[in-house]
Amino acid sequence: MKQPVRIAVTGAAGNISYSLLFKIAAGEMLGTDQPVILQLVEIPQAMDKLRGVAMELEDCSFPLVHGITLHDNPFDGFKGIHYAMLVGARPRSKGMERADLLEANAAIFSEQGKALNDVANRDVKALVIGNPANTNCLILSRNAPDLDPSQFCAMTRLDHNRSLGILGNKLGVNPSDIDGVTVWGNHSPTMYPDLHNATALGESVIDQIDESWYKTEFTPRIQKRGAEIIEWRGLSSAASAAQAGLDHMRDWALGSEGKIVSMGIISDGSYGVAKGIYYSFPCICEFGSYQIVKDLEVNEYGQSMMKKTEQELLEEKAAVDHLLPA
Ligand code: NAX
């Protein structure tokens, strides 16, 4: 039997975590041979609710769960962790401006970055799910100078999975038969879901779809899918977000088996994207790390879409720059 790994989940009493925790505990993230210790982190006001969630986890008597601990601060909750699923964030409240939202979250992710820096395992992998995910990830990483920026990711896998699901439905193929889809940029309505290099059952996708469907139906639908879910369900995406978090971390840790996956990672300047922002790129994962797929063709339309979402991330960065450590 393998040694247990420690996984911290923040926002552990919230909606996404109510799905995520049970999947992790069942071995869906790191495999059914990998025991886990769950370190659940919440704000002090949510600790009672968290206790209830922990009781339910206990009542499932998952064989892989070798321990559950509850914490009201990241310096305790992140001790020795190998994986961090950072779900908790400050939601936008009524009358709150975008800059206020960025600032409120900057405070949360600065503290969590410092905590990861001080107490996490040196090989920790951290995935930011809480919004605005890309800029939260930037703040997190900049506050953890002893860790490498490549140890942090922002989640765009839900946008990637949504693209596979909706495209598969359109073409009448299984999502697993599609490869080469990339979601570029920010996890926001400026993201660019790129199908130009995608194949379904080995055949080019772009040759099988109508350009106007792609540009005026598919693209805005992916960009605004979160709002569409809220409109129909009355609640924001939870199970699909949990599944995406799980998929992201599983592929990062265990490999994507040669398939392209979209990950919000530190830009190294590839594809002309400004360095130093967390931007979603096409990646292949192997041996516990990711590589950007570098040789994809991007046409003029794609380049203008990529610039737009890059510009938004640069503006978000400028709004929090004064809060970032030098
Ligand atoms: P909920 O409001 O149900 O849960 C959030 C939980 O986080 C709450 O229990 C809250 O007490 C806790 N929390 C807040 N601040 C915290 C802190 N400093 N430390 C620890 N816990 C803290 O939201 P939920 O539906 O679970 O969504 C969570 C986040 O995911 C939101 O920011 C949401 O916008 C974001 N999403 C991101 C997605 C992505 O693709 N990157 C998609 C789904 C989702 O919209």
CATH number reported for the structural domain that contains residue 296 in this entry: 3.90.110.10
Which atom, in ligand 1's list, is nearest to the CA of 154?
41
Residues 289 and 141 placed together within one structural domain of the fold: no
Distance 144 CA to ligand 1 centre (A): 21
User: Would you tell me how many other CB atoms lie within 10 Å of the CB of residue 116?
Assistant: 27
Nearest CA residue ID for atom 20, ligand 1: 42
The CA R_g of the chain, rounded to the nearest whole Å, is 19
Name the CA dihedral angle for 105, 236, 75, 59, rounded to a multiple of 10 degrees.
Answer: 170
pLDDT tens for residues 43-56? 999 999 999 999 99
Q: What angle in degrees, to the nearest 10, is found between the helix axes of 157-171 and 239-254?
A: 100
Nearest CA residue ID for atom 6, ligand 1: 11
Residues 147 and 203 placed together within one structural domain of the fold: no
What does the pLDDT read at residue 34? Answer: 98
Is 126 annotated to bind ligand?
A: no
Choose one of 99, 127, 154: the last residue of a domain. 154
pLDDT tens for residues 213-241? 999 999 999 999 999 999 999 999 999 99
Q: Do residues 251 and 285 touch, judged by C-beta distance below 8 A?
A: yes
**CATH code, 71:** 3.40.50.720
pLDDT tens for residues 21-73? 999 999 999 999 999 999 999 999 999 999 999 999 999 999 999 999 999 99
Nearest CA residue ID for atom 34, ligand 1: 131
Q: Residue 248: CB partners within 8 Å, gap ≥ 6?
A: 127, 153, 155, 157, 261, 263
Residues 42 and 111 placed together within one structural domain of the fold: yes
Q: Could you tell me if residue 320 is inside a domain?
A: no
Nearest CA residue ID for atom 36, ligand 1: 130
Nearest to 305 by CA among 227, 211, 215, 199: 215
Q: Which residue among the candidates 71, 160, 187, 248 is catalytic per the annotation? A: 187
User: Total structural domains in the chain?
Assistant: 2
Distance 297 CA to ligand 1 centre (A): 35
Residues 107 and 224 placed together within one structural domain of the fold: no
Is 8 annotated to bind ligand?
A: no
What lines the ligand 1 site, CB under 6 Å? Answer: 10-11, 13-17, 41-43, 46, 87-91, 108, 129-131, 133, 155, 158, 187, 226, 236-238, 241
**Strands, E assignment, the chain:** 5-10, 36-41, 65-71, 83-86, 125-128, 152-154, 178-179, 182-184, 192-194, 199-200, 203-204, 261-266, 278-286, 289-292
Residues 74 and 58 placed together within one structural domain of the fold: yes
Q: Respond yes or no: is residue 160 known to be catalytic.
A: no
Q: Do residues 313 and 191 touch, judged by C-beta distance below 8 A?
A: no
Q: Do residues 191 and 157 touch, judged by C-beta distance below 8 A?
A: no
Task: Supply the range of the domain harboring residue 257.
Answer: 156-315
